[in-house]
Amino acid sequence: MERKHWMDNLRWVTVLLVLFYHVFYFYNNKGVFGGVGGFGEYPQYKQYQDVVMYILYPWFMPLLFLLAGASSRYALQKQSGKEWFKSRTRKLLVPGTIGLFVFHWMVGYFNTVVASRQGVFDGVPAIAKYFMMAISGTGPLWFIQVLWLLCLVLLLVRAIDRKDRFWNWCGKANLVVIILLGVLFWVGEQTLIKNPRPESLDGLLNLYKPLFYLVPFLLGYFVFSHDEVHAKLEKAWIPLLACAVVAGAVLIISTFGQDNTSPQYLGSPLNCLYGWLMCLAMMGWFKARFNRTGAFAGYMTRSSYGIYIVHYLVIASLGYMMKYYTSLAPWMMYVILFLAVMVLSPVIYEIICRIPFVRWCVLGIKKQKHELQAV
């Protein structure tokens, strides 16, 4: 099968957007969980730069799951289910568990440093603090943890559709049907717990959203792994993007200031419409305009997964230090943090790639040689 460069390019571009998003997320003042807060209280201090979160959050993670579903289809055409799941376990579950204790405890340190300053960990044994920091360092690794779980679910689904009858039927979908699949996107968002109970796992379920992300993952496998579907999106990418921009503008103008990660916000029809149209438009746009590769694109295709894995340490450490130990203007903090995460994340990734055993723990890589395998 000829490699789909447009899909590779869309994946690594979306990963870079995740890095960009986290720069603004870390300093947001809209009540979004995580980060260190903004530079003033909302609504007295508007902090309009937070609009980046409203633009990106409705669609970029669903798009990554959708691409992962399609890539899973292609991989399973070359590998047995057992071989594929074994490689997924090494690539996803190992970094999402063992990697916490080898690398991401450092992220957890900065996630818990405020609590430490408040005396929360006074008297707690060092080994207990280490385990707390490791678990707290999960951060963006929720993505690969959920993805591993969905891969397990996919094996069960494939056992039901052994002869690919449903997959073949999905490939016949026309553009209207493809757009209407956004209803499933909305249904998935309704699985979130609208009023999570304090001191329960409700908040964790809303953070991981496995039932919601199962929707784009399976749609990627059954629908968006068909060349015929790609061709339909390619022809319609301009009107799809135009409609997405209009929906997004209305959404942002009417909701700016709200917590854009709350279940009520995510489950709103307008948020789902915007998110789904953007997923379709981005796929169509990249299929039409970016179905090629080069030296930089090839490197990013190989490395974007590892860059995603390590990038949040740069965000958490440098972002925290600038906020609490410097008097830099906010705009300078954004610029410095953006440049740092874009430059230092690949550097950290390349260093880890060259350390035996550590690269297996943190990145799921057995050998130093890059593995050209889509997540």
Digit-coded pLDDT (tens) for 330-351: 999 999 999 999 999 999 999 9
pLDDT of residue 343: 98
pLDDT of residue 43: 86
User: Is 372 among the domain residues?
Assistant: no
Question: Of residues 118 and 196, which shows the higher confidence score?
Answer: 196
pLDDT of residue 284: 98
Total number of domains constituting the chain = 1
**Nearest partner of 375 among 57, 139, 143, 152, judged by Cα:** 143
Residue with tokens 């209407």: 180
pLDDT of residue 33: 87
> φ, ψ for residue 258 (rounded to 5)?
-80, 160
Span 68-76, average pLDDT: 97
User: Is 371 among the domain residues?
Assistant: no
In 3-state terms, what secondary structure has residue 258? strand
> pLDDT by residue (tens digit) across 264-275?
999 999 999 999
pLDDT of residue 19: 98
User: Is 368 among the domain residues?
Assistant: no
Span 71-82, average pLDDT: 96
Flag whether pLDDT at 105 surpasses 60.
yes
User: Is 374 among the domain residues?
Assistant: no
Q: How far is CA 30 from CA 158, 248, 254, 256, in A?
A: 41, 18, 15, 9
> φ, ψ for residue 35 (rounded to 5)?
75, -170
Residues in CB range of 55: below 8 A, 6 or more apart = 248, 252
Range of the domain at 210: 5-363
Instruction: State both tokens at 228.
Output: 């015929």
The answer to whether the CB of 79 falls within 8 A of the CB of 87 is yes
pLDDT of residue 119: 58
The answer to whether the CB of 223 falls within 8 A of the CB of 229 is yes
Give the count of beta carbons closer than 10 Å to the beta carbon of residue 32. Answer: 20
Span 236-253, average pLDDT: 98
Q: Could you tell me the pLDDT band of residue 302, with boundaries at 50, 70 and 90?
A: very high
Flag whether pLDDT at 370 surpasses 60.
no
Residues in CB range of 232: below 8 A, 6 or more apart = 174, 175, 178
Span 54-60, average pLDDT: 98
User: Is 373 among the domain residues?
Assistant: no
Span 126-154, average pLDDT: 95
Whether the pTM exceeds 0.85: the reply is: yes
Span 107-123, average pLDDT: 73
Q: What is the mean pLDDT of the chain?
A: 94
Flag whether pLDDT at 368 surpasses 90.
no
Residues in CB range of 254: below 8 A, 6 or more apart = 270
**Nearest partner of 149 among 218, 83, 197, judged by Cα:** 218
Q: Is 321 exposed, middle or buried (0-12, 13-18, 19+ CB in 10 A)?
A: exposed
How far is Cα 298 from Cα 104, in angstroms, rounded to an integer? 27
Flag whether pLDDT at 374 surpasses 60.
no
Per residue in 109-144, is it b (16+ CB within 10 Å) or e — as a string?
Answer: bbbbbeeeeeeebeeeeeeebeebbbebbbbbbbbb
pLDDT of residue 116: 63
Span 210-224, average pLDDT: 98
Q: Could you tell me the pLDDT band of residue 2, with boundaries at 50, 70 and 90?
A: confident
User: Is 259 among the domain residues?
Assistant: yes
pLDDT of residue 372: 46
User: Is 369 among the domain residues?
Assistant: no
Flag whether pLDDT at 247 surpasses 50.
yes
How far is Cα 216 from Cα 225, in angstroms, rounded to an integer? 12
> pLDDT by residue (tens digit) across 18-36?
999 999 999 999 989 888 9
> φ, ψ for residue 256 (rounded to 5)?
-55, 130
Give the whole-number percent of the chain exceeding pLDDT 70: 96
Which residues partner with 256 through β-bridges?
258
65-79, 126-140, 277-291 — which is least confidently predicted?
126-140
Q: Verify cis geometry, omega within 30 degrees of 0, for the bond prior to 58.
A: no
In 3-state terms, what secondary structure has residue 365? coil
Runs of H (alpha helix) within the chain = 5-26, 51-56, 60-76, 81-88, 94-99, 105-117, 126-136, 142-160, 165-170, 175-180, 182-189, 202-208, 210-222, 227-235, 237-255, 263-266, 269-289, 295-325, 330-353, 358-363
DSSP 94-143: HHHHHHIIIIIHHHHHHHHHHHHHTTTTTT--HHHHHHHHHHHTTGGGHH
Give the whole-number percent of the chain exceeding pLDDT 90: 88
User: Is 57 among the domain residues?
Assistant: yes
